[in-house]
Structure 1
Amino acid sequence: MSESVENVPQWLRTTGGWSWRLVAVVAAVALVVYATTQVQVVFVAVFLALVLTSVFRPLADFYARALPRVLATLFALLSGVVVFGGLMAYVVASVAGQWSRLAGEFDSGVEQILDSLQNLPFGLSVTGEQLNEWIDAGQQWLADNAEDLAGQAAERAGSVVEGLMVFALAIFCTVFFVHSGDRMWRWFLRQVPARQRRRWHDAAGAGWYSFSGFARGTVIIAFIDGVLAFVLLQILGVPLAAPLAVLVLIGAFIPIIGAPLAMVIAAVVALAAQGFVTALIVTLGIAAIGQLEGHVLQPLIMGKQVSLHPVVVAVAVLSGTVLAGILGAVVAVPLVAVVWTVFSTLRGDPPVPLPADADEGSPDPPEPGGRAEVADPGEDGVTADPVGPRQPPPPA
């Protein structure tokens, strides 16, 4: 037996060792993905709660300087409701005031598009008979698939109820994360063996620093994108500028594919309402906003909190889209950023600096290197730091 082992080349033994480790990692990741898909509603709710917590916790900490923690949490959440509700009310009012105007301009715009299709160069023109055939084929398809479409509508009704459940659970979790997330984390640390608490503490702190930076930065950047798009559409006189700007704002939350989709929709509306020149200006303007976001806003607002190569971002978004559609595209980048940050921190080479603030406004541990407020008695009855013994600083 020993002779047979010695006859195996070293490169083959090394490759075999890495192979079974890789298989184990892939199996673990597949198991996590499968378990997540089985409780997708809960996962989405908790993810949304963490995003909201990253936004509202700093505001609650600010209010807590002059108010009790309960009132600070309440006022922070109410501030979000006022801002979001005011935005939605403005969008609804804009749609109601400009809908009739847009309908008339859209009809004339469609006629212009049809006329343009009949006079294309290089023999690519589409005749009126072909357009009528396509319209008839579309109507026939709707008639043949009416039952299936009705069934899908019924499924969407169930999805609405499910969405309300997700939203309710997310708000419920957000309230507790904002109010007492630090105490929840210290309770969790006490369930970890004492010698491992420092590593968990540092890794979780770095992971939350990356996630909260991404979430808050995305919200701020999306708001700026929406404001700039609204100003551009207002200057050009494009109808429904407010809802189109909100669409651009929402598109900022979907990496790579969100902004282009919003740009195409805004350009189509501009084409129908104002003509080709305005549509071209809208396309170039929103593309310029995207460049401003990628080269100025993201480095300025997020800094190095999310340090992922563009290739990694593209692969993560595509993989998330394949696994879970638009939802996967939204959560892929922050999840990959957190996993990479935690892994690097556990390896001893954190890719991002740990926050200087003790709590960073999150349901995560206090400042790495600080002592937790609740002590935990050790085996000999001596009170110990819940995150483990303090390590001496590395030599300069």
Structure 2
Amino acid sequence: MNPPPVTKTAPADHAVPPAVRAAASWSWRLLLIGAALAVLLWLIAQLKVVVVPVAVALLLTVLLAPLVGWLHRRLRLRRGAAAGIAVVALVAVVGTLLGLAGRSVVRGIGDLWDQASEGIDTILDWLATGPLQLSTADLEGWVDRLQESASGASSSVLSGVLTGATTVGHLLAGAVIALFCTFFFLLDGRTIWAWVVGLLPRGSREHVHQAARRGVVTLGAYTRTQILVAAVDAVGIGVGAAILGVPLALPLAILVFLGSFVPIVGAVVTGSIAVLVALVAQGPGAAIVMLAIVLGVQQLEGHVLQPFLMGHAVSLHPVAVLLSVAAGSFVAGILGALFAVPIVAVLNTVVLYLHGHDKFPQLGTSDHVTVRGRGHPVLDRAIAQVAELESERAATKADESDLGAGQATGEDEGATVQGAGDRTSGARDRDEQR
């Protein structure tokens, strides 16, 4: 008698459609990734006094590395001396620009304030005699209310001053940390990077090293291109302001240069400040001309510099650049807007390389034969030692296999000789018997 057939119960997973299971799998993984990113951003926000100067030091290192290499190779200077000269030259250039801007501000702020006061008086007269026909009593009442609001906000102003003093202290500390890190990155950057890579598992070190090399190339291209774009914006707006006779033309140009490091948005904000200064100093006509100059420079940046230069340097579409700046400013304010594009550009290059799409195939790999001297010396030596050990192991295995084959051949030859001897002795015995 045959046993009754066993009925199999369908697993519970079969009751859930595959699309829902896939969506659930993606959902909890994305939630974990989002939580990890949130924790990382929180840690960065807590340590921004240290993280931001280190990020600035990385940008300065990429910018000054060619100068240090040229001083080290051509002038035969020690690397420490070359790094020191580069950092001192950077401080001298920045100090000179700030000194010129500060002198121009001190000289022109008095005239600008007088012109602003005259402009305010003109606006008040227009409000009293123009279409609104506001009485003097109404205007005086508004002025009194403004004064009361200002006096009532004295505590807020005092707290703002204290906060500003704290911010200035943080800026000075950050500047010292950035210069200190820049010097040592230029001096021992390769050794520091080798130590960082050495903390990773052995199998992933080479991939991380190669991805980081390409990220550094992208970061350098972004930095140089952004300096060129900022210089074009500053020269265009500064020369236009100087031709119109707008006061503080040089400080405005320097402000535009610094603001242009926030792509697309920075030059617009700083250019609007130039338009406002022209309006206060010379009236609506000069302000309209200044606005046309700013818009012309923005068109040059948006349609020529950003798509061709920046797009070629970092391989990012202008829409991606704009969204990166918006997201960075929303998350971290002005610092997020400043660092959003380089972070996205480096991540784009690194992720593409790790997925098999190499944007810089000319860099090759860190193989100790093909890229010796172009890669990382410490990592190259380590990779060379590993390759030598593998070669020795392969040679040892080959010797062992040859020895085993030789023994087997010797045994076969011995067996053949012995067999031949046996056959010879057997034939001799048969002859004797005959």
**Pairwise same-fold verdict (TM > 0.5):** yes
- Any residues of structure 2 matched to 1:225-374 within 5 Å, and which? 225-350=233-358, 352-353=359-360, 356=363, 367=374, 372-374=379-381
Higher mean C-alpha displacement, 79-88 vs 50-59: 79-88
Q: Indicate how the Cα distance of structure 1 residues 253 and 136 shifts in structure 2: closer, same or farther if over 3 A, else same.
A: farther
**Corresponding position of 2:13:** 5
- Any residues of structure 2 matched to 1:1-396 within 5 Å, and which? 2-65=10-73, 66=75, 67-116=77-126, 129-350=137-358, 352-353=359-360, 356=363, 367=374, 372-375=379-382, 382=389
Rounded to whole Å, the distance in 2 between the matches of 1:233 and 1:376 is 57
Whichever residue aligns with residue 115 of structure 2, its letter is: E
Structure 1 residue 371 displacement after superposition: 8.8
Look up the SS of the partner of 2:314 in the other structure: coil
Q: Indicate how the Cα distance of structure 1 residues 7 and 41 shifts in structure 2: closer, same or farther if over 3 A, else same.
A: same
**Corresponding position of 2:424:** none
Structure 1 residue 180 displacement after superposition: 2.1
Q: Indicate how the Cα distance of structure 1 residues 331 and 116 shifts in structure 2: closer, same or farther if over 3 A, else same.
A: farther
Rounded to whole Å, the distance in 2 between the matches of 1:117 and 1:330 is 41
Q: Deviations over 1:56-107 (max 9, x none)?
A: 1111112112122122112212221222222122112222333333233222
Rounded to whole Å, the distance in 2 between the matches of 1:383 and 1:184 is 27
Q: Deviations over 1:230-288 (max 9, x none)?
A: 21111111111111111111210223432222122111111111111111111110121
Structure 1 residue 41 displacement after superposition: 0.8
Rounded to whole Å, the distance in 1 between the matches of 2:116 and 2:207 is 60
**Corresponding position of 2:432:** none
Rounded to whole Å, the distance in 2 between the matches of 1:358 and 1:174 is 27
Q: Indicate how the Cα distance of structure 1 residues 146 and 354 shifts in structure 2: closer, same or farther if over 3 A, else same.
A: farther
Q: Deviations over 1:212-242 (max 9, x none)?
A: 2222322232223222222111111111111
Look up the SS of the partner of 1:269 in the other structure: helix
Rounded to whole Å, the distance in 1 between the matches of 2:63 and 2:376 is 25
Give yes or no for contact 1:207–1:342 (8 Å, CA) kept in 2. Answer: yes
Give yes or no for contact 1:358–1:366 (8 Å, CA) kept in 2. Answer: no
Q: Indicate how the Cα distance of structure 1 residues 104 and 304 shifts in structure 2: closer, same or farther if over 3 A, else same.
A: same
Q: Indicate how the Cα distance of structure 1 residues 307 and 378 shifts in structure 2: closer, same or farther if over 3 A, else same.
A: same
Q: Indicate how the Cα distance of structure 1 residues 366 and 219 shifts in structure 2: closer, same or farther if over 3 A, else same.
A: farther
Q: Indicate how the Cα distance of structure 1 residues 103 and 5 shifts in structure 2: closer, same or farther if over 3 A, else same.
A: closer
Look up the SS of the partner of 2:381 in the other structure: coil
Whichever residue aligns with residue 382 of structure 2, its letter is: A
Structure with the greater alpha carbon radius of gyration: 2
Structure 1: runs of 5+ lacking an equivalent: 360-364, 385-396
Structure 2: runs of 5+ lacking an equivalent: 1-8, 367-371, 392-434
Whichever residue aligns with residue 347 of structure 1, its letter is: H
Structure 1 residue 195 displacement after superposition: 1.9
**Corresponding position of 2:407:** none
**Corresponding position of 1:393:** none
Higher mean C-alpha displacement, 126-135 vs 250-259: 126-135
Q: Which has the higher contact order (CA 8 A, sep 6+)?
A: 1
**Corresponding position of 1:387:** none
Rounded to whole Å, the distance in 1 between the matches of 2:364 and 2:301 is 27
Q: Indicate how the Cα distance of structure 1 residues 306 and 138 shifts in structure 2: closer, same or farther if over 3 A, else same.
A: farther
Structure 1 residue 321 displacement after superposition: 2.2
Give yes or no for contact 2:194–2:378 (8 Å, CA) kept in 1. Answer: no
Q: Deviations over 1:280-327 (max 9, x none)?
A: 111110121122122223345435232233333333323322322212
Give yes or no for contact 1:209–1:305 (8 Å, CA) kept in 2. Answer: no
Give yes or no for contact 2:237–2:271 (8 Å, CA) kept in 1. Answer: no
**Corresponding position of 2:369:** none
